Amino acid sequence: MGVNKLIATNLAAIVTFENERRKERQRKGIQAAKKAGKYRGRKTVITKKLIAEVRDLKENKNLSITQIAKITGRGRNTIYKILKEELNYIPYNRLVKNVHISTKNTSQHA
């Protein structure tokens, strides 16, 4: 039993070491590709059409994030990103539209 545990521990350490080396090589490769102008990252799925569709489903039909995700065929994280970054919603216990409230002093002094 003790020998098996020792072997398993050593193998796990080797795997961790190799994974770190692979990740480092990958980071260096990405940096080199960016310098050469060949690495652009993942293309976004967020389009003006999708933003308009999400706006309509959320504001006019008052659907949930999950329902909007199912209808549009996109992930919930994408819908949250659109609502927060494109449509100015803020997380406030629930996701609510950010409305700028005037901070003028409306109290009257006698």
Mean pLDDT by 10 residues, the chain (110 residues): 91 96 95 90 92 94 93 95 90 68 50
Whether 60 is covered by a domain: the verdict is: yes
Whether 89 is covered by a domain: the verdict is: yes
Give CA–CA dist 110/105, Å, rounded.
Answer: 14
Whether 79 is covered by a domain: the verdict is: yes
Q: What pLDDT, on the 0 to 100 scale, is given for residue 91?
A: 72
Give CA–CA dist 57/53, Å, rounded.
Answer: 6
Whether 72 is covered by a domain: the verdict is: yes
Whether 87 is covered by a domain: the verdict is: yes
Cβ contacts of 84 within 8 Å, gap of 6 or more: 90, 91, 95
Whether 85 is covered by a domain: the verdict is: yes
Q: What pLDDT, on the 0 to 100 scale, is given for residue 54?
A: 95
Whether 4 is covered by a domain: the verdict is: no
Model confidence, pTM: 0.56
Q: Structural domain of residue 86, as residue ranges?
A: 48-97
Q: What pLDDT, on the 0 to 100 scale, is given for residue 93?
A: 61
Whether 55 is covered by a domain: the verdict is: yes
Q: What pLDDT, on the 0 to 100 scale, is given for residue 110?
A: 44
The total number of structural domains that make up the chain:
1
Q: What pLDDT, on the 0 to 100 scale, is given for residue 82?
A: 94
